């Protein structure tokens, strides 16, 4: 099975690297700068689950991409999706399965329109990973998982085949028969965390320590939960119990990557993660005053960045 990983950044570099380490047929679609880095230093992974340096990992650049792949693993940011599609489109054939690991749901519509719904699986990952100053992939905590599956809930032959390959990477891959529910639950958690920590510009613990902080976070959770429910994906009890516990843990240093991007002056996924939720809430007549405030804040930040 031929796998094309779009990018060799933190997420793509980690999951693709683990499969390459296991001997799978993995190629990274990269820009010239990243190609040069990988040629010189290799793909370096530093992790609680084991360090590895993969010398000369297979790479290809967009202008040289002229072969079809069986699986395409996509982990770019939402604001890079259009450019990513242009770069990897030549690799998509009639039997190619695209597994996007982006947050939210808006990207599914974009990919469906371009490549056809039958080629686009659902997917999500949970991992704390970054690129350090040496451009090494650094996993910050042992937690790791990658869920994927057919969006109609069937366990297809192609999902079983992909599951066998992904299992070799030993990163907690799960072939799911309920992937859309899982994607919605991640969106509920992520959007609550991102909206809260970005708007307040601080960690969960500091928000909870402020007057009204707990009510604010739980109110944000109520809004995102209500939208998911209106869309037909009411969060399940175990998820809500786990999520509520994380969002009300006193002293928690947890923040969203969106907040960390703001601190770094980087682009944010305002429309994809928060704006699309608000649009769905409006369509379902779900009041979302907290989300609206957070969205206005994010769009003002984007305007300031220029």
The set of catalytic residues is 186
Report the distance separating Cα 62 and Cα 83, nearest Å. Answer: 11
Asked if residues 199 and 171 have their Cβ atoms less than 8 Å apart, the reply is: no
Please name the helix (run of DSSP H) or strand (run of DSSP E) that holds residue 120, with its range, or none. none
- The conformational region for residue 153 under phi > 0 = left, psi -120 to 50 = alpha, else beta, is left
Question: Which residues neighbour 206 within 8 Å (Cβ) at sequence distance 6 or greater?
Answer: 200, 213
Going by C-alpha positions, the residue among 263, 267, 262, 217 that lies closest to residue 244 is: 217
Asked if residues 103 and 126 have their Cβ atoms less than 8 Å apart, the reply is: no
Report the distance separating Cα 219 and Cα 291, nearest Å. Answer: 10
Asked if residues 249 and 205 have their Cβ atoms less than 8 Å apart, the reply is: yes
- Tokens read off for 252: 């928690």
Question: Which residues neighbour 131 within 8 Å (Cβ) at sequence distance 6 or greater?
Answer: 9, 10, 13, 137, 138
In this structure, are strands 52-54 and 43-46 parallel, antiparallel, or unpaired? antiparallel
Asked if residues 223 and 281 have their Cβ atoms less than 8 Å apart, the reply is: yes
């Amino acid at each position: 099975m031929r796998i094309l990983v779009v990018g060799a950044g933190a997420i793509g570099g980690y999951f693709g690297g683990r499969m390459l380490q296991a001997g799978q047929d993995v190629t990274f679609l990269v820009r010239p700068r990243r190609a040069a880095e990988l040629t010189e230093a290799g793909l370096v992974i530093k992790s609680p689950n084991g360090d590895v340096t993969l010398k000369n990992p297979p790479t290809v650049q967009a202008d040289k991409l002229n072969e079809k792949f069986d699986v395409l693993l996509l982990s770019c940011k939402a604001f890079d999706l259009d450019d990513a599609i242009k770069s990897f489109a030549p690799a998509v054939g009639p039997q190619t399965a695209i597994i996007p690991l982006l947050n939210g749901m808006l990207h599914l519509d974009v990919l469906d329109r371009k490549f056809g719904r039958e080629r686009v699986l659902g997917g999500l990952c949970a991992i704390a990973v970054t690129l350090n100053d040496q451009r090494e992939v650094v996993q910050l905590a042992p937690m790791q998982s990658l869920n994927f599956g057919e969006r109609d809930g069937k366990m297809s032959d192609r999902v079983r085949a992909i599951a066998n390959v992904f299992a070799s990477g030993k990163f907690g891959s799960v072939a799911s028969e309920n992937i859309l529910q899982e994607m919605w639950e991640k969106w509920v958690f992520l959007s609550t965390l991102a909206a809260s920590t970005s708007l307040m510009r601080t960690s969960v613990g500091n928000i909870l320590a402020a007057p009204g902080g707990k009510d604010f976070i739980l109110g944000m959770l109520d809004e995102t939960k209500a939208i998911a429910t209106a869309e037909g994906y009411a969060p399940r009890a175990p998820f809500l119990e786990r999520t509520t516990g994380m969002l009300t843990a006193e002293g928690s240093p947890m923040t969203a990557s969106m907040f960390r991007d703001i601190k770094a002056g980087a682009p944010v996924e305002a429309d994809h993660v928060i704006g699309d939720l608000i649009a769905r809430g409006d369509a379902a007549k779900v009041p979302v005053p907290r989300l609206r405030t957070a969205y206005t804040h994010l769009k003002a930040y984007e305007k300031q960045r220029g």
